[in-house]
Amino acid sequence: MRQRKRWLLAQFAPAPDGLRASLVERFSRCGKANCHCQRDGPKHGPFYFLTQCLAVGRSTSFSSNLRPAAGSQEGIAHFRRLQELMEELSQINAELLRRDESLTDE
């Protein structure tokens, strides 16, 4: 377990493009009465939005001309990987405490 903890700590190099957000793809109808989207035709889009949760009940989003390959997906994946590493480190530390062991290598 301590070997795994040392390995995890060595992985902590936050990527400079880390992004705590979600990329949302949406399709919508326009306001034109005679447009195909008002009937059975396909909706317009895709339109992409980056959304972030700021606090409980508060979020922000902005529309963009971003395409999924514009770097946003990579930044989101890098941030999520860092979260996964932190979660695993926390689980190891909790188990060490349950065993009444030190959290540091001394």
The predicted model gives 70-93 an average pLDDT of 91
The predicted model gives 55-67 an average pLDDT of 71
pLDDT at 87 (0 to 100) = 96
Rounded to 5°, angle at Cα 100 from 94 and 106: 90
Q: How far apart are CA 75 and CA 12, in angstroms?
A: 15
Confidence of residue 66 (pLDDT cuts 50, 70, 90): low
DSSP three-state, residue 28 = strand
Are 39 and 32 a contacting pair, CB within 8 Å?
A: no
Residue with tokens 């705590």: 20
Which amino acid, residue 54?
A: L
pLDDT at 69 (0 to 100) = 56
pTM > 0.85: yes or no: no
| pLDDT, averaged across the chain | 87
Per-residue pLDDT for 71 more than 80?
no
